[in-house]
Homo-oligomer: A and B are copies of this chain.
């Protein structure tokens, strides 16, 4: 075996306008270059407390149990599911794209019976359908909905379902991987019990961490478990003490669980600072304005938007190319000749659709212009 090393990996210039990762400000990438410290260093434990505090602001929650999972958004999803589900539980999952399906898959692996509320891709899940499912399965452990379906661009309303579940024993579990920081989200006011997100979408932080929060109602469910959580790595009951958020409150000694990803947490800390400097509501407004501008330009060109009218995410737009357009070839040329990344369609939309993200640092008028100009130039040739 020869000990061959490769040359340094120097990335090509890219403008990230796909479904994530989004562009990262150099303040955040620079934070990841800071000197590594120990995961139990008292100074670092304070940084973690600050991250949790800033996450609460961005999530609009006072939940004590709020932290960043040491994995990507999908690890946040798995954390939410495996900590709440016990074998034999029934759960209700809205499926109108890839990510609802993923919740259902994970819940089944955790031993749940899954009741699926299915809608065509791009549509939202109506509150009535949730109410019906709940009536048929009154003891359901949770209802799960995807706030911002990254595979379709559908923008799921949450408030009515939260109200519906408030007086029941059923938890409201929400995937806001692509929502957090981009569109309004009110965890406490909307009655969301378990929320997970990712860093690489509207927070504009590199992928690798998954913010999560659990309400008091959700905490009671965690406390009442009789079966062990099927994952050791994602077991909230063990990790929460490391984050200084012990069961029952108070200030238990911070105990080692696993070695936290220090550099990634430095990046998240700096990214959250930037979100709060801009102001959460200003950031929501910026995403709305830029995304709607882009979508109106597409409609001007008779391009079909795939998410249901009135329920479109501004930060993630899916649209279908007319027949005859080779979307894959066009996408490759956009990357190779213009250095712009966009996403192809997933599942039902594979081979015909694009997904354009105008998220975080990427949500600017200049990027809308640059993308449309590049597309026009490529299609004219």
Which A residues are closer than 8 A to B by beta carbons? 1-6, 8-14, 16, 18, 20-21, 23-24, 26, 29-39, 41-44, 47, 50, 53-54, 56-57, 60, 62, 70-75, 77-78, 82, 102, 105-106, 108-110, 198, 200, 206-208, 228-234, 256-264, 266-267, 269-270, 272-273, 276-277, 279-280, 335, 341, 346
Partner of A35, one of B29, B77, B257: B29
Partner of A110, one of B16, B38, B230: B230
Q: How far is the CB of A48 from chain B (nearest CB, A)?
A: 10
Partner of A259, one of B11, B72, B341: B72
23 residue pairs of the A-B complex, CB under 8 angstroms, read A1-B57, A3-B57, A5-B277, A8-B270, A8-B273, A9-B47, A16-B36, A18-B38, A30-B33, A70-B71, A72-B261, A73-B259, A78-B233, A102-B232, A108-B228, A110-B230, A208-B208, A208-B261, A230-B231, A231-B231, A256-B346, A263-B264, A263-B267
Residues in B neighbouring A198, C-beta threshold 8 A = 259
**Cα of A8 to Cα of B25 in the assembled complex, Å:** 15
Do A12 and B43 touch (CB < 8 A)? yes
Chain B: CB-nearest residue to A188: B1
> Known contacts being A36-B24, A256-B346, is A261 close to B206, with CB within 8 Å?
yes
